[in-house]
Amino acid sequence: MHYHRYARHGDAATLKREPNNGWESPEYRVWAHIKQRCLNEKSKRYQDYGGRGISICDRWKDSFNAFCEDMGKKPFSAAQIDRIDNDGNYNPANCRWTTNVVNARNKRNTKLTAPIVSIIRELYSRDIRCVDIAKWFGLNQDHTWLVVHGKSWRNI
């Protein structure tokens, strides 16, 4: 067993690891996942990224250090990478660290905006069923239920 670990990873005693700046860092995992979904056709997420034309800029494609220079460290442990223009590529001008709430609202299938949420809640208050509201707006019925009951889009 030790031989297999040695063959894959080298001698642990001489292997220099930099947990806060190297391949074990959270930023490295983010960068590696970006590359997977944009470049690896066997990735489960490829069809939603590389398969629809989303790419990673040349500067980041081959250099984790360049990614770190442009993006910096995650500002908080739960920060996620977000593309400002959801149809744009991964590059310094289009990426930011953000919360999961902001990231979840910036999705292709998220058709909700504050005015639409208000309209949905108004319709529901007039005894129109969630299933009908969902059909009108092209939404998932469960998501519509979460909106009308204040489980999502709480601040509106």
User: SS3 breakdown of the chain: % helix, strand, coil, rounded to 5?
Assistant: 45, 5, 45
User: Where are the chain's structural domains?
Assistant: 2-105, 114-148
What residue ranges of the chain have pLDDT lower than 70? Answer: 1-23, 105-111, 154-156
pLDDT tens digit string along 127-137? 999 999 888 87
In 3D, which of 121, 118, 113, 109 has the Cα closest to residue 145? 121
In 3D, which of 100, 71, 95, 65 has the Cα closest to residue 83? 95
